[in-house]
Homo-oligomer: A and B are copies of this chain.
Amino acid sequence: MSSSAIEFARKNYPRFLDELKALLRIPSISTLPENTGDCRHAAEVLASELKRIGMEHVRLIETVGHPLVYADWLHAAGKPTVLMYGHYDVQPTDPLDEWLTQPFEPAERDGNLYARGSADDKGQVWAQVKALESLMAATGKLPLNVRVLLEGDEEVGGEGIASYVASKPPELKSDFALISDTELFAPGLPTLCVGLRGMIYTELEVRSSRTDLHSGMYGGAAPNAFVTLAQIIAKLKDENEHILIPSFYDDIIPPSPEELAAWKSLPFDEEHYRKTEVGSKALVGEKGYSVMERTWARPTLDVHGIPGGFTGAGAKTVIPAKATAKVSMRLVPGMTPAKSFALYKSYVEKIAPAGVDVEVRLISAGDPSLIRVDNPYIKAATRALHEVWGKDTVFIRSGGSIPIVGDFDRHLGAPSVMMGFGLPDDNIHAPNEKFHLKNFSLGIESVIRFLEEAAN
């Protein structure tokens, strides 16, 4: 493992890190309209850097949302073509008062880099870009043909990239994809993610009266949208986390006995996980399933917030006319967003009481994915990871959703290698998100070696 590209990467690491910090200072929150300009700014910074390091045909591709960044380098005749993917948009930062340092002012503490987007996903995108720079700078070329496609709507459903990929543009023709948006199972343990949950993200709205009402005057006669919504939510899943939507579980394809056995052998301390990662008094979930089965291979349902009503300090004695719950469900192989949403919608409409109007809206959706571990690119990845990390790769799934994996498979015929460098305690989507600095540097080296191995 003494490639000249790796030497270049090691020598230039301090600069790479400073550049990453600059990227993290851009508050590219894709879900907030006020950050639209910041998202474009992040896209432009990435495009400019890809051009600088020698990539070609660099351009922004406009979408219904934030722009895609495209670049390629296609001079490795006879070699396969990789499509490298990541996203430059980040999650919102609320609750802001729980951050120890400002989310968009990167801070190094204890070998970690704290900032919104550090692990999810700018740090990983930058590792890809810096791997390409190192190969270009050290050898004057790339070992295989490379296309780069970065998006800015991953945290809001990725509608733009989905329709672009669905149009099967010739410029995306690739043999496989490299996706850096996942994590190691444990510190120092090289990991490839070979399964993802899908998702439907919805809004469930109850309208109970024409206008807000005084709870003294009308309490006892007027329906209360929040109480009705709570009653509906309480019927969506029971206290053992079993989802009560009829037929919801019907199409699930369970993991193979081999996969289940491999999961059992992973280093996992449930009590440590509860205390240090989840930070709750008890774990929850369907009886009879392990934590890994529950978070990787079983569908789940969560409520993210209930806007509406009175949310200020103090007291306001109002019966709100309307309440809206943000409700999402994670889906597993075998399930489809369309059928799952239809089952959910018709169940909610059935259980809604007569006195109120209920509306269920689909905000975004993504298919679940499963990767075959016997494909040559997965094999190349395990060789590369062994060299860099000195250990055999473990195959895991992720409970999260990367809908683009299914899109690359379906529309481009490109299987994905999900090689990511986050850690389970990186606080992604939460206050104090961080990226382990060692994983940033070894991430760059892993991508360099993987591209070299995949060229053979």
Contact = CB atoms under 8 A, between A and B. Distances in A.
A213 interface: yes
Given A217-B400, A220-B285, A279 B429 contact: no
A216 B197 contact: yes
Interface string A426-450: 0111111000000000000000000
Contact of A285 (B156, B221, B273): B221
Contacts of A157: 315
A338 interface: no
B281 A355 contact: yes
Nearest to A95: B212
A314 B36 CA distance: 14
A210 to B, nearest CB: 3
Interface stretch (A41-49, A123-131, A292-300, A409-417): A292-300
Given A218-B399, A226-B303, A227-B303, A279 B316 contact: no
Contact of A214 (B239, B280, B428): B428
A454 to B, nearest CB: 27
Interface string A285-329: 110000100110010111111111111111111111101011010
Contact of A304 (B221, B310, B400): B310
A309 B303 contact: yes
Nearest to A279: B210
Contact of A306 (B222, B226, B278): B226
Given A211-B430, A216-B199, A311 B316 contact: no
A396 to B, nearest CB: 12
B224 A303 contact: yes
- Most B Cβ at <10 Å: residue of A32, A222, A308, A317: A317
Count copies of this chain in the complex: 2
B304 A427 contact: no
A315 B201 contact: yes
A98 interface: yes
Contacts of A302: 215, 219, 224, 226-227, 317, 319
Nearest to A290: B221
A376 interface: no
A285 B223 CA distance: 8
A170 B325 CA distance: 53
- Most B Cβ at <10 Å: residue of A201, A216, A229: A216
- Most B Cβ at <10 Å: residue of A220, A221, A231: A220
Nearest to A428: B214
Given A216-B330, A223-B282, A226-B304, A316 B400 contact: no
Interface stretch (A2-10, A76-84, A108-116, A356-364): A356-364
A222 B222 CA distance: 35
Nearest to A332: B220
15 contacts: A31-B312, A95-B212, A210-B278, A215-B302, A218-B278, A220-B285, A222-B283, A223-B284, A226-B302, A230-B231, A234-B234, A304-B310, A305-B310, A306-B323, A317-B429
Q: List 7 A-B pairs, minimum CB-CB distance, nearest first.
A: A210-B279, A216-B400, A305-B309, A220-B294, A282-B355, A234-B234, A230-B233
